[in-house]
Amino acid sequence: MRCFSTDFKAADMTLQTGRDYLAIPGPSVMPDRVLRAMHRAAPNIYEGELVDMVPGLLAGLKRVARTEGDCAIYIGNGHAGWEAAISNVFSRGDRALVCATGAFAHGWGEMATRMGVEIEVLEFGRQSAVDPAQLTARLAADPEGRIKAVMAVQVDTATSVRTDIAALRAAIDAAQHPALLMADCIACLACDVFEMDAWGCDVMVAGCQKGLMVPPGLAFVYFSARADAARETANCVTAYWDWRPRVAPDVFYNYFCGTAPTHHLYGLREALSMIEDEGIEAVWARHARIARAVWAAVEAWGEGGTVRLNAADPAIRSHAVTTVRAAPEQARQLRRWVRENAGLTLGKPIGMVSEDDPGGDGAFRIGHMGHLNAHMIMGALGAIEAGLTACEIPHGDGALSAAAGVLSRP
Ligand SMILES: *Cc1c(COP(=O)(O)O)cnc(C)c1O
């Protein structure tokens, strides 16, 4: 009796079937707990459980950012948060200094330009963090204090370069300049350490779809009392983006200037309780360890190969995302191989071409933010190693054992 067929078609075999890992730097992997929390009937938006849970969500969001300041929630992506932050701080004709370490500060600055703010860019390239000394020097040349705010990105998701936000505050203070400090932490909140109050940050923008593990759709704008004083006179602010009613609404409906993002709030509640259960410092430590495992693997591949970490100095590397430079065609082949053969999706390069490095658009990015543990990152690194081999991309040996070594040691 034949129990099974032996004439299966090996040619149709794929190694892709299984649980996918979307390792692009956002949206990140969504925990089943978050998805299950969102899978429910529409709740009442005027009273009951949803209304009762929002103050607790705001308290949780503030704990994640280490602030006792305010947090406004917007229905939108990170760009919505950018626009909200700009509109509450600036009047048309105000000046801002944008510190650029990749693609995203430019995007935020261009948005401000379109809203009537005069932008000046301090450019730090694609492989360096913001240099606080240059910031101090620039602000010292503005004795009248006409620059209203310094805008910086904590982790640029294109370059994976991380800037020390506390050092920017120190740089502003060293120039005895009144500028507000505005930070984009969209890529890295709840991944890289961030201490809003201790670091003297006035405005911080985040989104829910990266370290916070919720599907895209919520933006958070945190602000200090100093930033709210700027809001008093800001004439860019419009009814929808005004942060004031959103932090102290007369009725619940006005927390969101309209209907609440009901299911996102349930997802967020679950994600925040996962973070609280683990402890934010343990969450940071997990991201740090996983990031070091990724770096160890890439460094091993780079021995005798062409792939290399974009940020040479470990002190300026993000714990949320890693940009790996590689020859453009090889990077493309690798991304395709792991997607089609291993269920792993890596990030594309963005904005890596520069005059000093014209071939620089060759890169892939590994998102390691949010819901991620040791076996997931080892699986991703193993898939990349298989892809490097399959695509005949020269690379050094020992990447997986180097990564495992990092994970195994405190
Ligand atoms: C993802 C990201 C953004 C843009 O967020 P969207 O949700 O795509 O609008 C902005 N800044 C940084 C640093 C990011 O990582």
Of all atoms in ligand 1, which is nearest to the CA of residue 185? 13
Whether residues 211 and 244 share a domain: the answer is: yes
User: For residue 4, is it within any domain?
Assistant: no
Does residue 184's CB lie within 6 angstroms of at least one atom of ligand 1? Answer: yes
208 Cα distance to chain centroid: 9
Instruction: For residues 115 and 181, give the distance between their C-alpha atoms in angstroms, rounded to a whole number.
Output: 19
Cβ 72 vs Cβ 203: under 8 Å: no
CATH code at position 359: 3.90.1150.10
Of all atoms in ligand 1, which is nearest to the CA of residue 209? 7
Whether residues 93 and 236 share a domain: the answer is: yes
Among protein residues, the one whose CA lies closest to atom 15 of ligand 1: 187
Whole-structure pTM value = 0.96
Of all atoms in ligand 1, which is nearest to the CA of residue 157? 15
User: Which among 276, 292, 326 is the end of a domain?
Assistant: 276
Whether residues 140 and 246 share a domain: the answer is: yes
User: For residue 326, is it within any domain?
Assistant: yes
Cβ 95 vs Cβ 118: under 8 Å: yes
Does residue 153's CB lie within 6 angstroms of at least one atom of ligand 1? Answer: yes
Model pLDDT, residue 357: 55
Whether residues 259 and 214 share a domain: the answer is: yes
Q: Which residues of the chain are modeled with pLDDT < 50?
A: none
Model pLDDT, residue 9: 67
Q: Which domain holds residue 356?
A: 10-29+279-408
Whether residues 245 and 201 share a domain: the answer is: yes
Does residue 186's CB lie within 6 angstroms of at least one atom of ligand 1? Answer: yes
61 Cα distance to chain centroid: 15
Model pLDDT, residue 352: 74
Does residue 183's CB lie within 6 angstroms of at least one atom of ligand 1? Answer: no
Model pLDDT, residue 13: 80
Whether residues 318 and 397 share a domain: the answer is: yes
Report the domain count for the chain.
Answer: 2
Coil, helix or strand at residue 14: coil
Q: Read out DSSP for 225-281?
A: HHHHHHHHH-SS--TTT-SHHHHS-SSGGGGTTSS--HHHHHHHHHHHHHHHHH-HH
